[in-house]
Amino acid sequence: MEKISFIPEETDMEEVKFHGVTMGGKIYSLRRAKRMSQEQLAAVLNISPAAVSKWERNLSNPSIEMLWVLADFFECSIDELVGRTLVQVERVGTYNRKKIRLVAVGEDLLKCSEISRAEGLLAMEAYIPRLKSGSRFLAFAIPCIMKFFMEQMALDDAFQILENYVTTLPEEERQEGNMTTAVLRKIFAGENPKILQELIASFIGMDYSERNGRMSEILKYTRQEILDQYKGKKTYSENTDLLEEFVHVGDYEIQLILRNIEEVATLTAALAGASGETVRAFLSNLSDRLLYFIHEDMRQWKGTEEDILAAQKKVLEIGSFCLGDMREEKGTL
């Protein structure tokens, strides 16, 4: 393999500021997509394997000159390489990270409703350590409202105070706070769970409401029955095996990756080309409702190998960044 003439391997970390911290993950995912080891890439670039390793772990950055070489070699733009990508306009049916977050909090709120109806309002506090969404505000709101409830404060006054707390949340958390407050108010009023589902849907969006309307067909299957449908699934092609290494990581690591995937459409396309074992590893770490949503998306998915590879490269990039030093060269992370 012909070597590229010598170019400085790296630049001072303070000398060039890149957008984001994912460039190491991007280089890693592009290298893996070409099925090259760090040593092979280093040989092509006429640099040391240690330099490639440092790039991928975000310990140093390639020099400006080397960025052009890498972009040419991987057939991508400089902007793509350093993480400056255009934000895709959200489409109906495409879930971004904010919506995924609201879905998770909504699931916890519905569980709170179920517990309160079966065991009484006081039982909700015991559920806080088991909140799947990890919602900071929900964990605060439940004992806060319970305290007011025990003090026999008027419901309107209690929730006015809670709404005031919502205004102090960071902007990105306020929608979650507004939804939590509105739904808890209905729970304390003894509202029907179907009304709660519609209320939650109104905070998440029309696409969520439409999906809820189609859930009856999917919900006839248990969680395990859905996962079992992927037994024996083959990769889309011999090229779409980029995620197979994730079979060897644990649930915590998979959950870390899932929390950092911004668009469910990316996960859907990536898993559409993966083996059943890989699909099951990811889907088994989703909440029931998200599992049903993505299962439905995968059943209806119609894309190309190019779509799959683009999505799998993105998941690889996210995995590389999230897992950091846990990454190893022997086909596991």
Residue 93 pLDDT > 70: no
pLDDT tens digits, residue range 149-195? 899 999 999 999 999 999 999 988 899 999 999 999 999 998 888 89
Across residues 120-141, what is the average pLDDT?
86
How many Å from the N-terminal Cα to the C-terminal Cα in the chain?
28
Query: What one-character-per-residue DSSP string does 30-82 give?
Result: HHHHTT--HHHHHHHHTS-HHHHHHHHTTSSEE-HHHHHHHHHHHT--HHHHH
Q: Which domains are seen in the chain, by residue range?
A: 10-82 (1.10.260.40), 97-213 (no CATH), 219-326 (1.10.220.30)
Residue 269 has a CB neighbour count (10 Å cut-off) of 27
pLDDT of residue 21: 38
Q: What's the mean per-residue pLDDT of the chain?
A: 80
Across residues 14-42, what is the average pLDDT?
69
Identify which has the larger pLDDT, 228 or 291. Answer: 228
pLDDT band, residue 319 (cuts 50/70/90):
confident
b/e per residue, 294-309, with b = 16+ CB within 10 A? bbbbbeebeeeeebbb
158-163 — which CB contacts under 8 Å span 24+ positions? 159/184, 159/185
Q: What is the CA radius of gyration of the chain?
A: 23
Across residues 288-317, what is the average pLDDT?
87
pLDDT of residue 95: 47
Across residues 104-131, what is the average pLDDT?
88
Identify which has the larger pLDDT, 219 or 331. Answer: 219
Residue 40 pLDDT > 50: yes
SS3 269: helix
Residue 286 has a CB neighbour count (10 Å cut-off) of 21
User: Which among 235, 222, 317 is positioned nearest to 279, based on CA atoms?
Assistant: 235
pLDDT of residue 109: 93
pLDDT of residue 210: 61
pLDDT tens digits, residue range 249-278? 888 888 888 877 877 888 999 999 999 999
pLDDT band, residue 17 (cuts 50/70/90):
very low
SS3 107: helix
pLDDT of residue 204: 82
Across residues 65-86, what is the average pLDDT?
73
pLDDT of residue 331: 43
In the numeric block, which tokens belong to residue 10?
A: 């790296």
pLDDT of residue 96: 58
pLDDT of residue 329: 41
Q: Contact, 218 vs 295, CB < 8 A?
A: yes
Residue 326 pLDDT > 80: no
pLDDT of residue 212: 59
In the numeric block, which tokens belong to residue 87?
A: 């934000």
